Amino acid sequence: MTDKPTLREQIQHAIDENPVILFMKGTPKQPMCGFSARTAAILQSVGRPFAAVDVLPDPRIRQELSALSNWPTIPQLFVDGELVGGCDIVTEMYQSGELQQALGAETAEPIEEPAAPEAPGPAPLSIENHL
């Protein structure tokens, strides 16, 4: 009988398998906090595919993720297996054009931050791919 991977191993696998992955409260279509909404909106405006994981359905996800990344807050963006940071860092990188460069998107003049969508009801735990 094979051992089921631990939650931390599952999180690490998701980080390793997805070039760009955002751990957030809610989903990009249904964010559940302003910081997650802003970060997802920025990623969507860049136009590169990314995966997203809702940390709300199981509190252990947030706990294990923070232990793994050594970063206490949500959202957390990983690019090529490396933690980029949370909302403030992603916002600063977007405004300077560094985020677009890190994601391999065409860089233009720094753009104003996109408006964050309103936060509707809860969503199930899953990894979603978005453009």
pLDDT for 52 beyond 60 = yes
Kindly state the percentage of the chain with pLDDT values over 90.
75
- Say if 124 falls within a structural domain: yes
Per-residue pLDDT, averaged over 53-70, amounts to 95
- Say if 2 falls within a structural domain: no
Instruction: Name the residue range of residue 55's domain.
Output: 7-130
- Say if 89 falls within a structural domain: yes
CATH number of residue 26's parent domain: 3.40.30.10
CB atoms within 10 A of CB 116: 18
Q: Locate tokens 């909404």: which residue? A: 37
For residue 105, name the pLDDT band (cuts at 50, 70, 90). Answer: confident
- Say if 32 falls within a structural domain: yes
Q: Which two tokens stand for residue 4?
A: 């089921």
Partners of 130 in beta bridges: 50
Non-local (6+) Cβ contacts of 101 within 8 A are 107
pLDDT for 125 beyond 50 = no
Number of folded domains in the chain?
1
Q: Please report which residue ranges of 18-109 form alpha helices under DSSP H.
A: 34-46, 59-69, 87-96, 98-102
